[in-house]
Structure 1
């Protein structure tokens, strides 16, 4: 009788398996400490096969960053329904962000900690993801602000800083949530929503905060 042939795993499936192992290793051990031997063993493949598919440790790390960045931005975008009021859109977007980072702590570690501290090529990948999220939040806020002020020409720069600050706060709070026992994604989304929306709602209503008139500029 002839030898029994084993079914070969499709390349795309095998590659995702390697990326899963790499994200877990990079996220928990850090880029410098992670080894290709460890990643290959966790993926259940040989080290030469990892190199064959993904060329080098640097290329593998870049692939991990890109995959995790796409997943996070997609989670935020699909979590928001554009037909809902502005506060509900922001709430849903925050919930989607915190839920994703909580469900994928290794991926968030790769994006928020590892990629930013190991050279510009890696950091540039994360900046591109961040810019996309900031642009999305800016659009969300500016549409609501234009409606509230009945001003379809209200420039994006009026709210761009708010979006930047909001995304930065979400990033810091997500890192805190993942590191704090008992903290939940919903609680963090609620904390940031309460922190941000009071000011945003006043801005929408044309009641922005202003510095004291006697303050020296």
Structure 2
């Protein structure tokens, strides 16, 4: 069997085991058995448990970024790009719950170097969403250009909300609850974002009431 195929099987198995067991308690024996390979072969190809976990993080991160970018059609109007980008995010996280669990739950909780790789993924998502928000505000006829810092802050908030909503929905689905479909999750967040962007575009800013 070609090495790249065998490695893909090993990473597939590792994602499933790490998602279910967690990094600390995941067993290389279980990963090897699930992959249909010997443990020495897993070590030969992927060096160590730490390197294998890093390979899982990198692969799942690249797949998520690719899904969001592929969904956000650059030829569509800006608001549709934002909508489709959100759909792509939630569709991917719903279809790959183990991969999302590795990224969102496991990698963040075990310090460096894993948390740094997830932070890099998050920044790439923020960069994509920052551009989408700026384009949406501009194409929506914003009466005054939004400051760059505000757009960046909105993008961080939107990505954080998307991460939280995906985690909540996947947890409910995994426990037998109704969960949210990817469309429902995207609509929930799009309505929140769109209402805010529409107000900003028309100069209607919220401010605390004066005493």
2:106 is the counterpart of 1:109: no
Q: Give how far 1:150 is off.
A: 6.8
Q: Which residue of 1 aligns with 2:183?
A: 186
Q: CA RMSD in A?
A: 1.4
Moved more, 75-84 or 97-106: 75-84
Where does 1:58-73 land on structure 2 (aligned, <5 Å)? 58-73=50-65
SS in structure 1 opposite 2:106? Answer: helix
Q: Which residue of 1 aligns with 2:200?
A: 203
CA distance in 2 between counterparts of 1:194 and 1:205 reads 16
Q: Which residue of 2 aligns with 1:95?
A: 87
Q: Give how far 1:203 is off.
A: 1.2
Return the TM-score normalized by structure 2.
Answer: 0.92
Larger radius of gyration: 1
Deviation per CA, 1:101-123, whole angstroms, max 9, x where unpaired?
Answer: 00000000000000000112100
Q: Give how far 1:195 is off.
A: 1.8
Gapped regions of structure 1 (runs ≥ 5)? 1-8
Gapped regions of structure 2 (runs ≥ 5)? none
Count of aligned residue pairs for this structure pair: 205
Deviation per CA, 1:99-149, whole angstroms, max 9, x where unpaired?
Answer: 100000000000000000011210000000000000110011112323423
Return the TM-score normalized by structure 1.
Answer: 0.90
CA distance in 1 between counterparts of 2:50 and 2:151 reads 37
